[in-house]
């Protein structure tokens, strides 16, 4: 099943304050309520465009800035299935997988707003169904795949009774 893409107007250096403005991230604790305000400063009403399972596509250095987890939490709670970007801030990358949000590193210039895409993590490819293109992705590390399979690091820790096998 393919889902639709939502591109951001600004492609590079999307910081976590663009994802969720500081005026919300400290006042709102409920994830679903927080998700209503994603990208409000860039594109008012952006959250209303998202349907469960959609993808967010951007450029280089997505998630730079603050290291707070509200940004990936709000994205996941909005229904976004994965964020595709050319690169991610290191801390954002880790925080996203910790909360169970999938991040895909790939060339994104051939993916446009509302294209229908599928992600195949076993073959490391994004299929752009709309354009008939296959785009190679950087493989997701095994531990991050394990986190995704159970909903994040905390759920993984509970299931495995620790992180011992990675020490």
Distance (Å, whole) CA 139 – CA 121: 7
- The model's confidence at residue 167, banded by pLDDT at 50, 70 and 90, is very low
Torsion, Cα 101 104 109 113, to 10 degrees, reads -30
> Where do the domains of the chain lie, and which CATH numbers do they carry?
3-139 (3.20.19.10)
The pLDDT score that the predictor gives to residue 7 is 75
The pLDDT score that the predictor gives to residue 116 is 92
Q: Is pLDDT at 155 greater than 60 in this prediction? A: yes
Q: How far is CA 143 from CA 55, 139, 140, in A?
A: 22, 12, 8
Question: 112-122 pLDDT, tens per residue?
Answer: 999 999 999 99
């Amino acid at each position: 099943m393919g889902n639709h893409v939502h591109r951001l107007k600004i492609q590079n250096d999307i910081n976590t304050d663009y994802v969720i403005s500081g005026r919300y991230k400290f006042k709102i604790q409920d994830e679903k309520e927080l998700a209503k305000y994603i990208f409000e400063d860039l594109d008012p009403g952006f959250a209303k465009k998202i349907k469960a399972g959609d993808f967010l596509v951007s450029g280089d250095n997505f998630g730079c800035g603050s290291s707070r987890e509200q940004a990936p939490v709000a994205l996941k709670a909005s229904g976004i299935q994965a964020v595709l970007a050319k690169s991610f801030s290191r801390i954002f990358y880790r925080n996203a997988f910790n909360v169970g949000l999938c991040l895909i590193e790939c060339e994104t210039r051939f993916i446009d707003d509302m294209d229908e895409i599928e992600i195949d993590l076993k073959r490391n490819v994004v299929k752009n169904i709309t354009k008939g293109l296959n785009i190679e992705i950087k493989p997701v590390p095994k531990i991050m795949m394990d986190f995704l399979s159970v909903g994040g690091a905390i759920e993984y820790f509970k299931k495995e009774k620790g992180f011992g096998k990675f020490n």
